[in-house]
């Protein structure tokens, strides 16, 4: 059975870190919308050219372009045995399109990583990233563990901007929880823990969701 997984959660919940760790452990691709958009632009596909034109104007890439880019990526052979989606879906229309893409494939498992707002603000306002490769720095790190570059604070990680980003998430992306939470393959976990504890809870939640066979209700709160 293929393991098709998406993780929901606000900025600072640790989705990217957990997605990369889980995908590496299970030997399935972590599919980041940022990475596949850049690849589409670089290779000059039709969708990539459309995305480049939008981004060059400083606008957000539309649902139809994002859906097309993700669908192309999920149709590759390496995603047939499963995948972890990072950054998609972000809207309910994208979630509806993802259901269509996966019609006839194994069920989609959805895990929502929940973290209190105060903790999210603390994390984001103190987060450091690599000035060279853009990787997030781990707590206590001085230099990037990926490339050795200098760690700096993101310009958009001051408290006021962080609060606005969380407001945008609650308005635009949180409705995805309502879309998915009635499904038997939906689970939520506590993200306000250490990385290892979150990873253990994530693995247990995925195992439980994958074995539910539609017999259990979701976890709407």
The residues carrying an active-site annotation are 15, 90, 127, 154, 165
Q: What angle do CA 18, 13, 150 make, to 5 degrees?
A: 75
Interhelix angle for 159-172 vs 117-125, to 10°? 130
Three-state secondary structure call for residue 31: strand
Q: Give CA–CA dist 6/100, Å, rounded.
A: 15
Nearest-angstrom CA–CA distance, 125 and 114: 18
């Amino acid at each position: 059975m293929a393991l098709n997984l998406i993780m929901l959660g606000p900025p600072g919940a640790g989705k990217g870190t957990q997605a990369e760790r889980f995908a590496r452990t299970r030997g399935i691709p972590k599919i980041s919308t940022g990475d596949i958009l850049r690849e589409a632009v670089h290779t000059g596909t039709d969708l990539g050219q459309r995305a480049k034109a939008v981004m060059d104007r400083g606008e957000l890439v539309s649902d139809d372009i994002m859906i097309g880019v993700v669908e192309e990526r999920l149709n590759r052979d390496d995603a047939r045995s499963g995948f972890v989606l990072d950054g998609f879906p972000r809207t309910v229309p994208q979630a509806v399109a993802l259901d269509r893409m996966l019609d006839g494939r194994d069920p989609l498992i959805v895990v929502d990583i929940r973290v209190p707002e105060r903790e999210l603000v603390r994390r984001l306002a103190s987060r450091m990233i690599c000035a060279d490769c853009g990787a997030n720095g781990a707590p206590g790190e001085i230099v990037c563990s990926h490339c050795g570059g200098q760690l700096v604070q993101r310009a958009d990680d001051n408290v006021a901007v962080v609060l606005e980003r969380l407001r945008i998430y609650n308005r635009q992306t949180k409705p995805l929880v309502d879309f998915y939470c009635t499904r038997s393959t939906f689970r939520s976990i506590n993200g306000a823990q250490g990385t290892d504890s979150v990873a253990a809870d994530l693995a247990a939640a995925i195992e439980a969701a994958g074995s539910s066979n539609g017999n259990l209700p979701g976890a709407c709160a």
